[in-house]
Structure 1
Amino acid sequence: MSDEPERRIPLVEERARIEKRVVERNRVTIRTAMTESQQVLSETLRREQVDIRRVPVNQEVDAIPSVREEGGVVIIPIVEERAVLVKHLVLVEELHVQRKVLQEPVQIPVSLRATEVFVEPQNSPNGEDT
């Protein structure tokens, strides 16, 4: 070992550092506008109409007839008991119910609104167009 004291030589040390700053590059203007357009909506409406006719029958029957349908007509029997020396069922009348489907086109004007968006570039603050 040597008698000389140990010598140290300081070295230069580099360190890296990152700095950030805000730089305004571009500007835009955003505006909206409401538009309105007129349209006509078309649709066919459906409704049913019922016609009822009273049809006299006046016929004796042994049992109450059931409701039946003939040719698109619903027939509902109406009976009553009549006192005679003997009781008989008499078919007094029938109600004939017929359905009719009616259709009529309709047109309804409506207003529809929509929002449009416009984005417009502006000059940058340092005078350059981007």
Structure 2
Amino acid sequence: MPVSLRSQTVDVRRFAINRPVESKYEARQEGDTLIIPVFEYVPIITMQLTLKEEVHVTTTVSQQEVFQNVLLNTEELVVERRSGAQGEWHRDDEKNE
């Protein structure tokens, strides 16, 4: 019986940036990679917002067709008819189409 298996992996990599920025910005998507900025306030003579690092989260999806052996249940129906109200039961081998 054919079944479909699907898996998804996530690769998380950190890139040190350490670059001063003027203001915060939102996470962004580049292809299959979600880039999440990580900010911190660094005390200098004045407080300055610095982009500390970016976290790149890449999603990879894989799918494969596999065959799986499964046990299938079967049933058989036997029809028996009776000859009259008090008669004996006998198997009805007649096939109605």
State the TM-score, normalized to the length of structure 1: 0.57
Q: Could you tell me which of 39, 45, 51 is aligned with 1:85?
A: 45
Q: Name which one, 1 or 2, has greater alpha-carbon Rg.
A: 1
Which amino acid in 2 is paired with 1:90? T
Query: What is the count of residue pairs matched by the alignment?
Result: 85
Report what 2:55 is aligned to.
95
Unpaired segments ≥5 residues, structure 1 = 1-40, 126-130
Provide the alpha-carbon RMSD of the alignment: 2.3
State the TM-score, normalized to the length of structure 2: 0.74
Q: Could you tell me which of 56, 64, 78 is aligned with 2:24?
A: 64
Question: RCO (CA 8 Å, sep 6+): is it higher in 1 or 2?
Answer: 1
CA distance in 2 between partners of 1:45 and 1:68 (Å): 30
Deviations 1:46-92 (A, max 9, x none): 12110011011111011112111112211100011111101101101
Unpaired segments ≥5 residues, structure 2 = 82-86, 88-97
Q: Which runs of 4+ in 1 moved over 6 A?
A: none
Report whether the alignment pairs 1:49 with 2:9: yes
Which amino acid in 2 is paired with 1:71? G
